[in-house]
Every structure is written in C-alpha cells, then in structure tokens.
Amino acid sequence: DSGVTQTPKHLITATGQRVTLRCSPRSGDLSVYWYQQSLDQGLQFLIQYYNGEERAKGNILERFSAQQFPDLHSELNLSSLELGDSALYFCASSVASSDHEQYFGPGTRLTVT
Amino acid sequence: SQQGEEDPQALSIQEGENATMNCSYKTSINNLQWYRQNSGRGLVHLILIRSNEREKHSGRLRVTLDTSKKSSSLLITASRAADTASYFCATDASRDDKIIFGKGTRLHILP
C-alpha cells in the first residue's frame, strides 16, 4: 500500500460526459502528479501540482483540467469524453519536487462507451 | 516522441539468471527513475539516480547512468518469479521538469 488513494476504482460513462477523479496523496507529500496509461500511448504525464500550484504540464488535453486543494488532495476533471479517453488514470505523490521518488495510487480505470 | 525508450520491449529469462534492461533518452535530465508495474496495478518506485551519479545499488538492483550517451541500465540479479512485471524508466527533464516515461520492458521470469 503506497498511501496514495484514488477514487473511484472503476468508472464507466458515455461519450460527451464529464467525470471527476479524486486523489489523496500520502500524508506529508506536497506534490501530486496525474498520469494516463493506455495500450497505445503508454504512460503519459499529464500535470503536476505542488502545494496547490501548478508546477509542470505534460500532454494534458484542453478538455482536461486539474486542481490541488488546500488539504492537498487533487481532482482531475475530464470533460466532453471521447472513446479514446478510455484508460487507466494514475495519481502519484512525492514529498516535494520531481527530484524525489513518486508513490503511485492504484489507479482509476475509465471506460468511455 | 518518447523521451525514454526501454530496450528490449520484452524479455524472458530463467529464474536465477540476471536481467538487464536499457533506457535511452533525448534531453538533459535532472534524474532518472526506474519503476515496476504488475499487470494493471500502480507503479512502484525502485530506484532514483541523479544526473551527477553514475551507479546505484539497491538490494538485487543495480542502475547505471551514462549522461554522455543519454542512457541507463537496470540490472536485476538472481531473478525470481516474483520479478515478473513491466519495468519503466522515467526521466525528469531539466529544462521544464516534465516527467516522461518510456513504454516499458515486460520481464517474464520462467520457473
């Protein structure tokens, strides 16, 4: 158990819909990262937050947005969902910056039908 | 294009043998990390090596980093069935702190 929790574990929704994925980092970790893992694209870094502020941005679509709240939990919002958004979405946390090991949550499996 | 590219894509070896996986990357990095993933589960951090380090050990794991060749290798000695998993390298680009994972090496340890 990494100490990072993600909800929900599974999500099935239709194209065009909007979903919110939630992540609680390990106690004491200030950085939260979001990743998307699919068979064709592999593991893609989406975005990093550090202590509530956006720190680094990866291949995150404009239809996706994220935020980190004062209690350090984070949410990833996916809107106007497309079939290709079906993937595993992982959250990870680290003590500080990306110069530290990341602890991954169990992931949310999103299926868009 | 991928920053980190693991090689080989898949590897099957007998239990007890050593497994070596390689990772190549394109840009300057702050550090390189290796992770392991069992099927469909979250990644587990194995080892982090900084750009000013050349070699690190952790138990049966040995990681090397050659910044002149922009490559790293992960060696697992005396492999066990439980080592069967996918192994990923991840680079932290020094220019923009973006973290880029390779597509991974699928390691299968045969009994």
For A98, the closest of B42, B92, B104 (CB atoms) is B92
Q: Which residues of A touch B (CB under 8 A)?
A: 2, 4, 33, 35, 42-45, 48, 55-58, 88, 90, 92, 97-107, 109
Q: Which residues of B touch A88 (CB under 8 A)?
A: 40
Q: Would you give per-residue pLDDT tens digits along chain A (113 residues)?
A: 889 999 999 999 999 999 999 999 999 999 999 999 998 778 899 999 999 999 989 889 999 999 999 999 999 999 999 999 999 999 999 998 766 789 999 999 999 99
For B97, the closest of A35, A55, A90 (CB atoms) is A55
Which of the residue ranges A72-76, B59-63, B95-99 would you say has the lowest mean pLDDT? B95-99
Task: Render pLDDT for B83-92 as a digit per residue (tens, 0 to 9).
Answer: 999 999 998 8
Burial of A66 (0-12, 13-18, 19+ CB in 10 A): buried
pLDDT of residue B1: 40
B58 and chain A in contact, CB less than 8 A: no
Task: Check whether B93 has a pLDDT greater than 80.
Answer: no
Query: Please, what is the average pLDDT of chain B?
Result: 90
pLDDT of residue B4: 67
pLDDT of residue B3: 58
Per the DSSP assignment, residues forming a β-bridge with A76 are A21, A66
Asked if residues B35 and B45 have their Cβ atoms less than 8 Å apart, the reply is yes
Per the DSSP assignment, residues forming a β-bridge with A98 are none
Task: Check whether B68 has a pLDDT greater than 80.
Answer: yes
pLDDT: which is higher, B42 or A40: B42
Task: Render pLDDT for B16-26 as a digit per residue (tens, 0 to 9).
Answer: 999 999 999 98
Distance from CA of A98 to the nearest CA of B (A): 7
Asked if residues B95 and B28 have their Cβ atoms less than 8 Å apart, the reply is yes
Which residue has 């989406």 as its token pair? A46
Over the Cα atoms of chain B, what is R_g? 13
Q: Which residues of B touch A102 (CB under 8 A)?
A: 33, 43, 45
pLDDT of residue A98: 63
